């Protein structure tokens, strides 16, 4: 588990109740739009969650939570300074008509 951007050594099981934990990867966001400009100061992240049953529901304190396997793929595909667009659309909607190059 990661707490305050440092590894703690604690291991948390998938769907562990009442935990908004960061398991192994964290992507720290810097809001580019006026309404999101405080994201970095508020420590808003993209990270995995042990509570995968809540994916797709508003259940965090502002972070974007993903399944572990998905955030690992994303983490390995982005770099510091890269612009990331957050969308409510599904991956299928975003990639309609395009061949996916990142996702497997």
Q: pLDDT tens, 28-75?
A: 888 888 888 888 888 788 888 878 887 877 777 778 888 888 888 888
- Give the model's pLDDT for residue 97: 60
- Cβ–Cβ < 8 Å for 25, 71: yes
Q: What is the pLDDT of residues 10-19, one digit of tens each?
A: 777 776 766 6
How many Å apart are CA 61 and CA 10, to the nearest integer? Answer: 21
**What pTM does this model have?**
0.66
Map out the domains of the chain as residue ranges. Answer: 2-95
Tokens (6 digits) for 98: 């395009």
């Amino acid at each position: 588990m990661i707490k305050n951007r440092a590894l703690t050594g604690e291991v948390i099981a998938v769907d562990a109740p009442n935990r908004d934990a960061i398991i192994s990867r964290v992507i720290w966001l810097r809001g580019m739009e006026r309404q999101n400009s405080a994201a970095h100061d508020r420590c808003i992240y993209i990270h995995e969650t042990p509570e995968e049953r809540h994916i797709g529901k508003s259940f965090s304190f502002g972070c974007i939570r993903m399944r572990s396997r998905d955030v690992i793929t994303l983490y390995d595909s982005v770099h510091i300074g890269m612009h990331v667009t957050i969308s409510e659309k599904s991956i299928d909607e975003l990639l309609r008509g395009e061949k996916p190059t990142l996702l497997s």
